[in-house]
Structure 1
């Protein structure tokens, strides 16, 4: 696989640098699920902190292969990651720059490609990887206000705004909850085509609207329906449900839905 070939060459380029403590690979590399469409997730561990210094991050990336271009990952909340494109062959590579101390806090145990003096092996042996748990209360505290916001956009006729907001709920609420239901980590839309039961996948598809008011309303209704079902199935008893808020929002949604549909039929 081109990803493994790239990783092997990167090791040879980096291991002579005394600042480098190791290079590891995460994601699909761990489970040996790489295919021709996989990107490569690398973790570069250094003695001194490199992240936050974009020029140094780019310098290290340029050592690994035929570097075309890259940018840091603030948009996904991870400025320590340099998102890169390499050539010959064309390959997407995400490189996370961390120190040994930062490597102790990780979401998975990556495959160690190379390390200096067992540094990474010792850290993995003495610390635990932990994927952030989905905060059910955080979702419940926000969900119905999000629904109200989308209803406002529907009522005003801002359908693109409604479409984007429905997509946000799918990505950040509905799909992560369905991931948990299907015994997966709550990784948004990651591999839903392969990991979800058929019924769950079909329900998720029904949350994807067209640019047409009745379709937008049906999709939002489906998200509300799925959320109520998943909340009942997955949430522990200590989650405080916003029942009064839900009631008021749904009354308003019904009012706006009736008004919009009456207008649309004229």
Structure 2
């Protein structure tokens, strides 16, 4: 094992031992960078803990179980990402960020990836994986098109008013929600925001994405917003299904409005 991975393995060894001692523990698995083989010294751990009893979304019970794996510095439930079964935890000695999803066996059937099984009782997780399929939510082109030009007009309003930092934050949102996932799709990857964009996208696409990053001034923001609209249009037209209903009227109106704040 590489030296920088030893803290992860030490944590996993303790977690497995805890599960083995719990008769209601069904299995422990690791997803994310562990499952994809991309784990490095800067990774967090994405664990799936399957129990016969339902703990989530009871935060106190989730925290109590997680504390068995090591000394907790802080933890909170993943409501902000729409996942109340997730506990986001920071452990001490070594300092590790660990996401633990608490599931029952029936809930394990619905998953976005096939994690690496670290430990299981009576091959129960293996059996579930063999009987079901992992499905990552696809990028929704129509949902995005229905919102994109409204978003662009909103960003233009912020620029026009001189709210530079608000506009910068909104462009970051667009990169994470729209441009990054589209570029991942172009490169045959999962629509995971701008995750690992620096090593996944080709130099030309990475350069285009970089142009959507603005400085906190009007000229830079207008250029970045224009680039975001152009890049979206190109990727949409290249990747979207033929049945997509494009809102050309809204697009033209927003492009025209942007010219009024350039003056």
Q: Which range, TM-score by smaller chain? A: over 0.9
Q: Give the whole-Å Cα distance in 1 for the aligned partners of 2:252 and 2:207.
A: 27
Corresponding residue to 2:151 among 141, 146, 151: 146
* Structure 2 unpaired stretches of 5+: none
Q: Is 1:237 matched up with 2:242?
A: yes
Q: In angstroms, what is the RMSD of aligned CA positions?
A: 1.0
Aligned to 2:22: 17
Is 1:224 aligned to residue 229 of structure 2? Answer: yes
1:159-198 equivalence runs, <5 A: 159-198=164-203
Instruction: Check whether the contact 1:14–1:64 (CA below 8 A) recurs between aligned residues.
Output: no
Instruction: Tell me the residue number matched to 1:207.
Output: 212
Distance in 2 of aligned mates of 1:84 and 1:148: 38
Q: Within 5 Å, which residues of 2 pair with 1:1-266?
A: 1=5, 2-258=7-263
Q: Could you tell me whether the CA contact under 8 Å between 1:14 and 1:63 is conserved in 2?
A: no
Deviation at 1:52, TM superposition (A): 1.2
1:213 CA drift (Å): 0.7
Q: Distance in 2 between matches of 1:227 and 1:136?
A: 11
How many Å apart are 1:69 and its aligned residue?
1.7
Contact 1:23 1:113 in 2 (8 A): yes
Using the size of structure 2 for normalisation, the TM-score is: 0.96
Number of aligned residues? 258
SS at match of 2:48: strand
Report the Cα offset of residue 30 of structure 1.
1.0
For each residue in 1:162-219, what CA deviation from the matched residue of structure 2 results, as whole angstroms up to 9, or x when unmatched?
1111111111001110111111100001000111101111111111101111001111
SS of alignment partner, residue 89 of structure 2: strand
TM-score normalised by length of structure 1: 0.95
* Runs of 4+ that moved beyond 4 A: none
1:105 positional shift:
0.3
Where in structure 1 are there 5+ consecutive unaligned residues? 259-266
User: How much has 1:66 moved relative to structure 2?
Assistant: 2.2
Write the distance in 1 (CA, Å) between the matches of 2:258 and 2:228: 13
